[in-house]
Structure 1
Amino acid sequence: MSTKLEERQKQRQDEIITAARRCFRASGFHAASMSQIASEAKLSVGQIYRYFSNKDAIIEEMIRRIIDSRIEEMQGKTLVEGMPQALAWRQTLNEDDDALMLEMSAEATRNPQVATMLIEAESRMFANACAHLKKQFPHLSDEHIRCCVEITAVMIEGTIYRRLTPLKVPSEQLEPLYQDILNMLFSAK
């Protein structure tokens, strides 16, 4: 059972993360300062440093939460259930998380620590997706499962990026093609 102090610390961290998300969306990771985050959180910079050692620690916690949320969303669902529709219609679980992950990718090109965080987060997500798919498709080899996860990740991440531009082809035409791709990926090998 958590103490009141632990609950208060968790609440403060949540407030800081929420404020940081707003600042990062408005200014980008590189341009957002600790003083902006503090102002948005209605705290002093010193108070923020009690909970996070630096801006990279805030980014790391943000990445962890986004990945945890995506892994949790994956549980109890078949990975391919609804995917053709989601890809064709460019649906998303969380538009804000998608935008922040794109921003983190840009920051990773400038900041090796953020690049390392993203690599570790992606590895965790990849391993979880492989384990999840193996339960659904036990007849597929581990190598084939890894290939399926890689191709699926490319389709999902590409769709996230493509959401920034107008759709060039009707979703109704794309959906059966995505279904064909997924059927081919997960057929017996």
Structure 2
Amino acid sequence: MEINAEASRNPRLREILMQADRRLKEEGGRLSQRYHPGLSDARRNAASELIAVLTEGAAYRCELSASTPVDKADLEALYNMIFDRLFDEQA
């Protein structure tokens, strides 16, 4: 969060973060194409964005989760349900 706050004030840092985000999504898109070739480009882009949101949110929540413990197996099951649906080429 601090880096994002600083990036709002520092154009150079903002550009670095934007480049890193683009590279992350491009790599995610390549992996999605390899393992799920039936996905449309739009679905692949949306999946990359959702995964980024989940990952960043999970990283942020790690700081808070000590006060509200969550069963890791339940959380993993939910993530698997989301990813199964996300990469369902029939949906």
* TM-score normalised by L of structure 2: 0.85
Aligned length: 88
State the 1:105 CA deviation.
2.1
The amino acid across from 1:156 in the alignment is T
1:119 to 18, 23, 28: 18
RMSD of equivalent CA atoms: 1.5
Deviation per residue, 1:72-129 (Å, 9 max, x gap): xxxxxxxxxxxxxxxxxxxxxxxxxxxxxx5432320221111111111211221121
Q: Which has the larger radius of gyration?
A: 1
1:174 aligns with 2:69: no
Match status 1:131 vs 2:30? yes
The one-letter code sitting in structure 2 at the alignment partner of 1:137 is H
User: Which runs of structure 2 are paired with 1:126-165 in the superposition (5 Å)?
Assistant: 126-165=25-64
Deviation, structure 1 residue 178: 1.0
Q: Any idea what SS the aligned residue of 1:109 has?
A: helix
The residue identity in structure 1 corresponding to 2:77 is: P
* Percent of residue pairs identical: 33
Instruction: Specify which structure has the bigger relative contact order, considering alpha-carbon pairs within 8 angstroms and separated by 6 or more residues.
Output: 2
Q: Give the whole-Å Cα distance in 2 for the aligned partners of 1:125 and 1:180.
A: 22
CA distance in 1 between partners of 2:54 and 2:71 (Å): 17
Name the amino acid aligned to 1:181: I
TM-score, reference length from structure 1: 0.44
Structure 1 alignment gaps of length 5 or more: 1-101
Residue correspondence of structure 1 range 33-182 to structure 2 within 5 A:
102-167=1-66, 168=68, 169-182=70-83
